[in-house]
Chain A
Amino acid sequence: MPKITIYTTPSCVYCHMTREFLDEHNIAYEDKDVSADEAAREEMIKKSGQLGVPVSDIGGKIIVGFDKAAISKLLNIG
């Protein structure tokens, strides 16, 4: 399983959806709250070129937003 990091904010519903989706499939991930963690914020912007959450880093592949189809494909889940 690739290493997964998700960049989120507490009040973002698509971030919740991303978390729940991964949880449902028992997939481990690191959740970085970019509202509290400035280093994580810079890391997310540098990696993705995005100023919006959620951003998922799945083994180095960057997915912007809660793109269920793209995440499922990368992780081979339905």
Chain B
Amino acid sequence: MYDVIIVGGGPAGAAAAIYAARKKMKTLVITENFGGQSVVSDSIENWIGDKKITGLELAKRLESHVKAQEGAEIKTPAKAMKVEKIESGFGANGASVPAWKVFTDQGDSYEALTLIVVSGGRRRRLSVPGEAKFEGKGISYCATCDAPIFKNKIVAIIGGGNAGLEAAIDLTRYAEKVYLVSNKPSLTGDPANLEVLMKSGKAEIINNANVSEILGDQFVSGIRYLDKSGDNAKELKVDGIFVEIGSIPNSEFIKDLVETDERNRIVVDHRTGATSRPGIFAAGDVTDALYNQNNISAGDAIKASLSAYYYLLNIKKQNK
């Protein structure tokens, strides 16, 4: 039985693991990979202590920092699929303290007295007909990767936040024409980004548009959308579609055990990282944290890790 199982290998997972191991907790990290969502970033310029670092380099540093900890075991690549409540064998006066059994997609399972859920988020999909069929065939979720392939083509970026604007700016370097499609009455991204985009002379903004279908044969040939201002269906002829509509939390595997909000994010006490379930802590993008930032996720995970440590001390003290 481990003292703590940490589910996730982003900045939060690494931070939780390093602090747990340094507190001499018997630690297991279960993660699909290291680095978190910003692993695809070409240039991270706000990771404190590094003026500029690629997502891949950050991922390597996080991984090597975790691997340098004695007493931290790593199970990767592995994905937590389910958690069950079990008896820990600890507890005074007939009261029993729960423990947690984590099942992975590798067919194995691991037990711990505490859990730190730092499984982050993943890209939100449009969930419209044609999206699955045309993934990699005109639909991309990585503008920095695939923008050059759409040289002299017509593309649509879906999403009017900063991620959408940045992808659109990226695409103006290659594409002939860039539509920025937002389902809101106006864009929500920074005006400075919008200014850069419009200066390219290649961009056209389409607001109030709900994308309803991806069209095409072998490759994408267009999108169908509902124009909410006129309430009529329209089509746009495009060769490529870049989806930038935010992220959703990876909370499915733990949802039955802890309280989540209307967006499926784990509700935590932001002072301690505690969830609604004693012994389970959480931090980072899988929680209802206000800001999704690498540095904040790391800090919040340290809170969760220290809280798990004191929870554990308390259990072990009661059993003496």
Contacts and interface: CB of A to CB of B under 8 A. Distances in A.
Contact of A51 (B42, B144, B149): B149
Contact of A17 (B41, B42, B56): B56
A72 interface: no
B219 interface: yes
B218 interface: yes
A68 B313 CA distance: 41
A12 B56 contact: no
Interface string A28-48: 000000111010010001000
Given A50-B136, A51-B136, A9 B146 contact: yes
A62 to B, nearest CB: 12
A49 B145 contact: no
Contacts of A52: 136, 140, 142, 145-146, 149
Contacts of A35: 148-149, 151, 174
Say whether chain A's binding surface is mostly helix, strand, loop, or mixed.
Answer: loop
B146 A51 contact: yes
Contacts of B205: none
A32 B147 CA distance: 16
A16 interface: yes
A14 B145 contact: yes
A53 interface: yes
B55 interface: yes
Given A49-B218, A51-B219, A51-B240, A15 B145 contact: yes
Interface residues of A, number: 21
A15 B220 CA distance: 23
Given A52-B140, A64-B136, A13 B145 contact: yes
Interface string B145-176: 11111110000000000000000000000100
A34 B148 contact: yes
A11 interface: yes
Nearest to A44: B149
Given A51-B146, A51-B149, A13 B136 contact: no
Most A C-beta atoms less than 10 A away, residue of B56, B149, B174, B218? B149
Most A C-beta atoms less than 10 A away, residue of B137, B138, B174, B218? B137
A24 to B, nearest CB: 13
Contacts of B137: 49-51
B54 interface: yes
B39 interface: yes
Interface string B116-132: 00000000000000000
Given A11-B42, A13-B55, A16-B56, A51 B145 contact: no
Contact of B138 (A9, A36, A51): A51
B74 interface: no
A74 B162 CA distance: 40
B40 interface: yes
B218 A12 contact: no
B146 A12 contact: yes
A14 B148 CA distance: 15
A15 to B, nearest CB: 7
Contacts of B218: 49
Interface in B210-234: 218-220
12 contacts: A13-B39, A13-B41, A13-B55, A13-B56, A14-B40, A15-B145, A34-B148, A35-B151, A35-B174, A51-B140, A51-B149, A52-B142
